[in-house]
Chain A
Amino acid sequence: MARTLTQTATVSTKKTKNPWQQPCFAIYTMEYGTYGGGYILFDHNINQIGFKMGDGNYAYNSYRTHSSYAPEFHNNYASSDYINTQSYPSSSSNYGNNTCWVGYLGHMFHHSVTPSSTEPGWIKVDDGGYYMTARGFRDVITLPSEKTQDYAIFLDHSSSNNRIRINSRSAGKYFHQQNWGWGNMNVSCKQNSGNAQSMYGCGSYNPKLKKLLIMENFDASQTFRVKPTVYDSVPDLRSYGNADSVHANKPESYQGASNDSGPLYNHFTNAAGNYDVDRYNEYNVNNRNGSAESSWRGQCVLCDNERIVLFRTTNGGNSGYVITRWNGPNEASQPGEHNGEWIYNTLGWTQYGYEQGERYGSRFQQSSDGRYVWLYSHAYYYGAGNYMCVVRVSDGKVIHWNYQDSGHGWMPFPVGKSDLGIIASYNTDSNNGAWYTVQNLDKIFAEQDDGSQYQFESGLQRYTLDACGNSTNYAVMVPAMYDTSLFSEPHITEVNEPNTIWPPSS
């Protein structure tokens, strides 16, 4: 309380450091018993910038990977599935190469490195991932058009209240706050005369628009009925993230102050002029397969033209996904109504959502420059395959990927200015190394139809990204936390702004 709200300064003149030379992702493998394993770190040019390998039974490397003299976590968890990389997701629940283990907050079971790191990565304890880091992955929301991605906004379900927390981009810090019940602010649901219910991580903050979207479950039951509430003229929430608190701007009080007070709380709760519950239509479709994940979670994007894209899985006895898009409220034709729906919900596979554990469910990541957000989920059981919806933030154009792999994890990561990288959990043995692909989203969005499917698994490359250890290993990819602002102006001059006018003129 009572502190002046400030933002961490960003570099305002062109920086001499090449942003592509920042850490991008690490490849982790571990055959703990004999061959050992460790991390190899790569930058945004896919050049190697870090290496640390431990040994199994032969003391040639930096640390021992199991039993006596191993570091604490390796000593106690060496054979655990989440650490060893001797298999892939398929029907096993906890291997580290699950699709849903990675997201905006990095990797659930590994620390992400930063440009200040001197080491390429390290593990967490299994509980630290399953129950602690996982909660942040469940609750974090998208930040479309945000160039400086050094903070995170979290929406936690609490009946008819949205429990909002704003922290730095750290799942660990969020869990600490959430687990102790600290630092939240309860913003009441506005839809259905206040009888709607909050959801987990189903929101979007667009700093370019200065608007915050909170999706609400309309009739408080396990259905597909949702309706967006969008708040206008929202204060710069990044400054709250840098302050690590939604209460950072509250006045000093000598009489005790509730969590539900202060200017930010008042903006969302008491000032009815800051929102309009009927700006967007309700999405009310009942012929979908659905579980708790389908009803109480989802990933959404508030685009620059105020269109909204929502991605949800349909994992109630089946495996699939539904993408819904709303028109912006000021469009000439059908304002605020649905103008697109893409459905795949018929595959008779088991697909876990958060109801089977916080560590399962849909995730999102966004490009370094904030111009694209990809919303995704695994397709099979615990973490194999990938259903993905990539959204162009400027206009809400959608491209999706329907990859029903029952064996391997497909782990996405942002690379460069606006590209999407993917590592598949194929075997690194036989000199394959990690299998990767990098997709140029500007090119794909310029060439493909709105709402079309694209084969993001294409162009898999091997023989270049080595992995620690030399036996059968299925790679884990750990996204790095770098300074995303360096990928936008003034450090990089935009060479070709995409067409942001909707509908297109031709």
Chain B
Amino acid sequence: MSKFAKVSLMEPRSVVQVFDEKPEYTDTETHKIVAYDFDDSTEERLSLAVAADGTITNKHTGKTKTEAKSLNDADAEAWVLNLEKAKLKKRIGTRTAEKLEAIEWKTQRAKEQDYLAGNTAKSDALAVEKKSIRDDGNNHEAGVDALTNFADAQAYSNKPPNWGEPTQWKGIAWE
């Protein structure tokens, strides 16, 4: 058994070393020494959760070491998957905003055309076009939510479907 542990108080808070005896160490705002009876024969190091004040608890108490390792491996896989999904959604949102930005010039033109025609036909059509872009992005983001493994997330395009359709402004090559 080890009686003491050095913990990092920075996210993700973790145990960074264990000691049999209390080491000479001056606690800092980022690291401190805390008492904890770590049993390497039954406990997984990655199962140790560190609270903001440095207190250590085992989140898999009651599990065998093998069971705890499986749970930690699953946590690690979920962490990577969620990271990839967050990146995908952010990129899809950015691409959608880029596409809307690129046709913003149509707003002024539609207003002027509607003014001359005495109706709102052009503005209505533009609103539909913009909505379809937003829907396209939202649907694509919903597809990200449905992903359940890292390989599928990596294969999932960050470009919404039909992304290559003409935007009528040729200044940006969308692909």
Cβ-neighbour of A405 out of B16, B87, B158 (below 8 A): B16
Q: Is the beta-carbon distance between B45 and A348 smaller than 8 angstroms?
A: yes
Could you give 23 example pairs across A and B, Cβ below 8 Å? A34-B94, A57-B98, A67-B98, A68-B172, A86-B87, A90-B79, A91-B76, A91-B77, A91-B79, A92-B80, A348-B69, A349-B45, A349-B46, A402-B17, A404-B15, A404-B17, A404-B45, A406-B46, A407-B12, A408-B10, A453-B23, A455-B25, A455-B31
Which chain B residue shows the least CB distance to A344? B17
Tell me whether A299 is interfacial, beta carbon within 8 Å: no
Q: Determine chain A's interface SS by DSSP, over half rule.
A: loop
A234 to B93, CA, bound (A): 61
The B53-106 residues at the A interface (CB cut-off 8 A) are 69, 76-77, 79-80, 83, 87, 90-91, 94, 97-98
Q: Is the beta-carbon distance between A460 and B30 smaller than 8 angstroms?
A: yes
User: Which of A84, A385, A407 gathers most chain B CB within 10 Å?
Assistant: A407
Query: What's the count of A-B pairs with C-beta under 8 Å?
Result: 74
A: number of interface residues (CB 8 Å): 34
Tell me whether A346 is interfacial, beta carbon within 8 Å: yes
Q: Is the beta-carbon distance between A79 and B91 smaller than 8 angstroms?
A: yes
User: Which of B16, B40, B76, B77 gathers most chain A CB within 10 Å?
Assistant: B16
Q: A residues bordering B, Cβ < 8 Å?
A: 33-34, 56-57, 67-68, 79, 84, 86-87, 90-92, 346-349, 385, 402-408, 424, 426-427, 453, 455, 457-460
Q: Is the beta-carbon distance between A33 and B94 smaller than 8 angstroms?
A: yes
Q: Is the beta-carbon distance between A68 and B17 smaller than 8 angstroms?
A: no
B121 to chain A, nearest CB (A): 32
Cβ-neighbour of A33 out of B23, B40, B91 (below 8 A): B91
Q: What chain B residues lie within 8 Å of A56 (beta carbons)? A: 94
Q: Is the beta-carbon distance between A403 and B12 smaller than 8 angstroms?
A: no
Cβ-neighbour of A427 out of B11, B46, B76, B94 (below 8 A): B11
Q: What chain B residues lie within 8 Å of A406 (beta carbons)? A: 12, 14, 45-46
Which chain A residue shows the least CB distance to B25? A455
Q: What chain A residues lie within 8 Å of B10 (beta carbons)? A: 408, 424, 426
Per-residue CB contact flags for chain B residues 8-30 toward chain A (1 = under 8 Å, else 0) read: 10111011110000010110101
Q: Is the beta-carbon distance between B97 and A57 smaller than 8 angstroms?
A: yes
